[in-house]
Amino acid sequence: MAYRLIDAAGLQRGRLTGIALTGEDLVDAGQVAQQISLDTVREARLVAETAVDRIRDKFGPGVMGPAAVFRHAS
């Protein structure tokens, strides 16, 4: 529904910077509420950061970094 609202705005050059949605009684008694995001770029970055953190925990802090600082293999 939220994506349809944003698409309905029909903005081509302008940018919709915020939208507030409220939901009530959406979670059953035994379930946990989860926050959703409409910013897919931010969500992808957060998933990548989590993966990098897990790799660094497993193999050490120096195992990953910017590609520009690594030496070329020869």
Q: CB–CB of 26/19 below 8 Å?
A: no
Q: How far is CA 21 from the centre of its chain?
A: 19
Domain with 43, as residue range(s), is 36-64
**Any domain includes 73:** no
Q: 32-39: which pairs have CB atoms within 8 A and are 24 or more residues apart?
A: 38/2, 38/3, 38/6
**pTM higher than 0.75 for the full model?**
no
Confidence of residue 57 (pLDDT cuts 50, 70, 90): very high
Determine, yes or no, domain membership for 52: yes
- 5 domain-assigned: no
Report how many domains make up the chain: 1
In a domain, 23, yes or no: no
Q: What pLDDT digit, counting tens, does each position of 18-54 carry? A: 777 777 776 666 666 666 777 778 888 888 888 989 9
Residue 63's contacts (CB-CB under 8 Å, 6 or more residues apart) are 55, 56
